[in-house]
Amino acid sequence: MLELAAAFGYCLLSAIVIVLPAEVYLLAVALVSDVPAVWLALAGAVGQVAGKMLYYLLGRGVLDLAHLRKRSTAKGRWVDGMDRVEAWCRRHVWGPSLVTAVSAFAGVPPYALVSVLAGTVRMRWWLFALISVAGRWLRFWAVMTVPHLLPDTLFGL
């Protein structure tokens, strides 16, 4: 139970401080504990989405996005790419859901940016949270399960 609470807390923090790798932490915990990977992945996913809701609220305007945009140093391809993704999402009703699902699982486009985008295009918060938890759960579960599926001699494990 302590491992699940720690996984939730670490993943919540890693959602806000994006340089902390949730996958590495969860994989390490899965390797040294007896907690099933499916539950660690769920705790991590819920923690990540709870943290990313702050980014979602930035996009919704609940938090001050204008102040952050003025201070932003982001330029170039990523900004242009996200502008195109936002325009595409505004043209397709199901666009925000699809982009959120792909990003939550694959991390491309970056999940932090998609979290802001989901708020900006007025995606319903509960739909964003539901799709995000499912995508993050699948991602984390895959990261923790794949090493167990590989042959023992592959990496000398």
pLDDT tens profile 78-101 = 677 778 888 887 898 899 999 999
Q: Which of 15, 16, 4 is nearest to 136 (CA)?
A: 15
pTM of this prediction? 0.84
Residue 154, Cβ neighbours under 10 Å: how many? Answer: 8
CB 89 within 8 A of CB 96: yes
In a domain, 79, yes or no: no
> Would you say residue 136 lies in a domain?
no
> 60 in a domain, yes or no?
yes
| 88 within domain boundaries | no
Residue corresponding to tokens 């969860």: 26
For residue 42, is it within any domain? yes
Nearest to 101 by CA among 61, 148, 70, 133: 133
User: Is 130 within the bounds of a domain?
Assistant: no
3-state secondary structure of 60: helix
pLDDT in tens, 130-153: 999 999 999 999 999 887 666 666
107 by Cβ neighbours in 10 Å (0-12 / 13-18 / 19+) ranks as middle
57 pLDDT band, cuts 50/70/90, is very high
The rounded percent of the chain whose pLDDT value lies above 70 is 84
Q: Output b/e per residue, 21-39; b: 16+ Cβ within 10 A.
A: ebbebbbebbeeeebebee
What sign does the dihedral 143-119-57-67 (CA atoms) show? positive
The answer to whether residue 91 sits within a structural domain is no
| Residue 147, Cβ density class (10 Å: 0-12 exposed, 13-18 middle, ≥19 buried) | middle
Q: In total, how many domains does the chain have?
A: 1
Answer yes or no: is 82 within a domain.
no
- Please, are residues 132 and 52 in contact by the beta-carbon 8 Å criterion? yes
Provide the residue range defining the domain that includes 7.
1-72
